[in-house]
Structure 1
Amino acid sequence: MLEGVVADGGQNSVSALARSIDMPVATAHRQVTTLVEEGYLTPVGRGRHVAGARLLRLLQRLDEKQLIVNVAAPAMHRLAVKARTIVQLGTLENDMVTYRLKIGQGAAGLFTRVGMQLEAYCSGMGKVLLAHLPPGERDAYLANGPFVALTPRTIVDAGALACELDLVARQGYAIDDGEIAEDLTCAAVPIRRPDGMVPAAISISQSMSARKIGHDEVIELLHATAREIEQVAFNAAE
């Protein structure tokens, strides 16, 4: 009923909305009365209602990236169990990867932490997020190169990084093989919105000297989890 009233935008009465969603009118009125009392809806006359102050405050606190994190948490827990290693979710802010979820065996021993920001050019999630920026934004990022080498494997040349990002966009995943830290390998895939934009990425990290699962299985697990997150997050958003 709440969804129906908000989507209607105050055009129709509670009775009309109830009939449109095949709900008993008396039930609809009881539900709307409760929602008004709790501040989620506001009456605007003639039996019509719009979103109330309490609902609007909640919406202001819940941005799209936080919604994805909330939806992703249980799926990421399941991924961590299957992968038997560390899984993470990140977003891009001010050209830096913000780590928003970190779960799995050995998580406490990895240098990343929730809320931390790291350079994007040298990590799997960072490459995914950069690869799916609008062309102008990606070009502006690359113009800030050359980049600092964190290990001998780090890509520091802007031209080489551009080629790497093109590859990531084509193949649908990114690999970091010891580019951000020696003996650490990471694979990452995008979380895509229905319009193709990529607001987040997820990854699996392993020690290069003690890998628990192979490349193909890692990519398969990541893509399956990404699809699960997308379905729930963006169906809910609609």
Structure 2
Amino acid sequence: MTAPLNLSNPIGDRSSVSQKTFAVMECVGSSGRPLTTSEIAVLLDMPTPTVHRIVHQLDMDGLLVQEAGSRGYVPGPRLFNFALNVFQTAVRHGSKHAILERLSAATGETCNFGIISGGALLYADRVEASWPFGLRYEVGSRVPLHCTSMGKMLLAHQPKRRREHLLSLSDLHAYTATTMTDLTVLEEQFAQIRTQGYSLDNQEFLAGVICAAVPVRDARGKVCAAVAVSAPQARMPMSLAIRHIPRLLEAADEISSAWAMDEAEAGEDGHARI
């Protein structure tokens, strides 16, 4: 997770083109909404013509894009892919991946770490079980939100309007006979997920595959990711998946604690960490 943009040190204190360009990308990337060039200039205490030149070049390079129907800019595909690659590298080589490895060893099954990305669930990290002929999803793979345990967990904790928007991006395809595609039924399940604290995928995405997921919270207590265990039903029936929930919760708490420590350290030395 990245620390919020610190605007107490205006861009006027920095002289290099690279610093100014990075500051513009950081400003747009951390805003949570489209920003116009005028807004960027105010936030960074930077001359508007300079911001126009930087934004124009970033737009040409695919690092920023103008949102359709808006004058504001959002991260472009190149910037998004760069951030995702950094995130994946940090996860794979950091404490979070080690936590996932321990979880997989404890359950004997494949364990996943997922986030929402572009209207889908993104596998940000994954530790495969040692069993042969397992399901092979590479890190970076995207799967539907509405019929996966991590996807449903993350949807359940979105504000209702954002959840509706995310669901509108998909055709709610019925991948198996047990896939839920009715919005009313899904909303009922989201409420149940929030109450019970975990989410299940009872062969809803892949026939014969069972998954269970729990939320991962950031330093502010907001659900921002999920951890899951998945396996063939023949090896992990639903009753066993539910028995793995305490282990999943322990792993999620460890990851949340690691994030809190990273953010505390970032606050001390002024550098954000993933």
TM-score by length of 2: 0.60
Instruction: Report the AA paired with residue 225 of structure 1.
Output: A
1:169 aligns to 2:197 (yes or no): no
Corresponding residue SS for 1:80:
helix
Corresponding residue SS for 1:155:
coil
1:205 aligns to 2:204 (yes or no): no
Against the structure 1 CA distance between its residues 98 and 211, is the aligned structure 2 distance closer, same or farther, given a 3 Å change threshold?
same
| Stretches of structure 2 lacking an aligned partner (at least 5 in a row) | 1-5, 14-18, 27-81, 265-274
Instruction: Report the AA paired with residue 233 of structure 2.
Output: M
1:224 equivalent among 240, 244, 250: 250
Mapped partners of 1:145, 1:159: distance in 2: 16
Mapped partners of 1:227, 1:107: distance in 2: 30
Partner of 1:40: none
Q: 1:15-26, aligned counterparts within 5 Å?
A: none
TM-score by length of 1: 0.69
Mapped partners of 2:132, 2:160: distance in 1: 34
Corresponding residue SS for 1:186:
strand
Corresponding residue SS for 2:201:
strand
Partner of 1:94: 118
1:124 equivalent among 141, 145, 149: 149
| Stretches of structure 1 lacking an aligned partner (at least 5 in a row) | 1-6, 11-43, 45-52
Answer whether contact 2:150 2:214 (CA < 8 A) is retained: yes
Q: How many residues align structurally?
A: 188
Answer whether contact 1:145 1:157 (CA < 8 A) is retained: no
Answer whether contact 2:219 2:259 (CA < 8 A) is retained: no
Partner of 2:205: 180
Structure 1 stretches of 4+ moved >2 Å = 60-71, 104-109, 139-146
Mapped partners of 2:259, 2:121: distance in 1: 20
Against the structure 1 CA distance between its residues 106 and 114, is the aligned structure 2 distance closer, same or farther, given a 3 Å change threshold?
farther
Mapped partners of 1:144, 1:62: distance in 2: 23
Identity of aligned residues (%): 25
1:193 aligns to 2:193 (yes or no): no
Greater shift in the superposed pair: 163-172 or 142-151: 142-151
